[in-house]
Chains A and B, each alone.
Chain A
């Protein structure tokens, strides 16, 4: 376990190497020592710079405020340890860790996203049909795009859409948008 001074030096060296701003570093170093160390350990795997680090700091601090746990506790969670152990590149690890952290930070929003994703998948529209939603599901418009190279493809696509309307699968997409 690093001493307080060693830890401060390690964090300073990381901040310098990754061009982390003084404000972000000060925020990190304002945490209790065990939390600073837990994040430092995570960053050995992720090696992320200012922007990703700010997301991680925001989410961790917000989870702490909500759940009244320590940052070290959160970073010890099994799903995060699994994400850290993701094989592949540093970017793969970073993506996996951020996905898990975001899920902890936004449990209902990520659940809604998953329900919508499943409802869209169940439409099985293939490459010709695309469904898109407003950013963060704000608003009430769902955009359906049908791509066709000729009349036959268009007829097929429309017929598939009609079938999905009739069997309730489209209704399921709209319902999923309101489910929390």
Chain B
């Protein structure tokens, strides 16, 4: 389990349920009560790796801004899937070498937990309950792993019953952990998708520090599926390296020999994308990484990606294989351009809602055909 070096609590939040749950699990740790906006006055963690140091301090505070936001993948020029995100945690106990948080939270790296989850639920209710005709997908895995701290914080016990009671919204819990114990005690009524980000074991072992292994993630996926949850998989980032084809092929095979394709809500693929400044951070924090040695070029949105022809080849190979293993599972690409969609699927979505629609029809038994895109033969 994650072991911070210190717990900090904003004055007035001591009795918040999530604080109480965490203190009960970590009774030995020093606790400090701090004033509101303490982190703005406190000097940034110093030393050689302030970002890494920030992860080891656990700070409970109130979220004073809105919780519900559009997924930042909706960048102009890229096909977007109309995904909404909420964040109860800012920063992540895991430490993947490619993680964008290293840049995004560079000035605010302390691992923050927001105590007012009731405000989050109220905000979501106000949006989704007022539009019962619309289908929403909301995820918690944007600024942190959705489940890495769940054994400690127990947020799933607040979230799952809330979403389970609503018919027009799917909650996605995106993770690289195997922390599913709380979920196994809850009833999702088909409204919660637990999804795993996967890379082949060779990459997971080298680049995804502090995460569950590939095999542990798959075992957790199998158990959660057997418990009645829908599951998903994200091959994102998709990483090009000398043995990518064999390794990803084996990874896909292992996935679909472990879980039942019926009940897989979606699989996504998204090429590794790195801003120039994140590239510098990765070089500094993970000098041994092999991530930067792929054939990446600077794209129009300011991010380095594997050059287009090669990533199209990667998508085609893997999606063709996925279609042969699990032909009815909806598949999409994350943060890709319309020309790449065109080359991979033979057509680009007319609008963002096209992608969203294909993903909100749950892939449960396929009473209705999922609106997946066909893959061009390679």
Contacts and interface: CB of A to CB of B under 8 A. Distances in A.
A177 B307 CA distance: 11
A109 B293 contact: no
A62 interface: yes
A179 B307 contact: no
B127 interface: no
A178 interface: yes
Contacts of A139: 300, 308, 337, 339
Interface residues of B, number: 24
Given A136-B299, A140-B339, A140-B343, A62 B293 contact: yes
A179 B309 contact: yes
Contact of B312 (A65, A108, A135, A178): A178
B342 interface: yes
Given A66-B241, A108-B310, A140 B342 contact: yes
A93 B310 CA distance: 30
A180 B310 contact: yes
Nearest to B280: A23
A9 B289 CA distance: 30
A6 interface: no
Interface string B278-299: 0000010000111011110111
A138 interface: yes
Contact of B309 (A61, A135, A137): A137
Interface in B260-306: 283, 288-290, 292-295, 297-300
B242 interface: yes
Interface in A131-168: 135-140
Contacts of B313: 180
Nearest to B307: A109
Contacts of A178: 309, 312, 343
Nearest to B337: A139
Contacts of B300: 135, 138-139
30 contacts: A61-B283, A62-B292, A62-B293, A63-B293, A65-B288, A65-B290, A65-B292, A65-B293, A66-B241, A66-B294, A106-B295, A107-B295, A108-B307, A108-B310, A109-B297, A135-B298, A136-B297, A136-B299, A136-B307, A137-B307, A138-B299, A138-B308, A138-B337, A139-B308, A140-B339, A140-B342, A140-B343, A177-B309, A178-B343, A180-B313
Interface of A: 61-63, 65-66, 106-109, 112, 135-140, 177-180
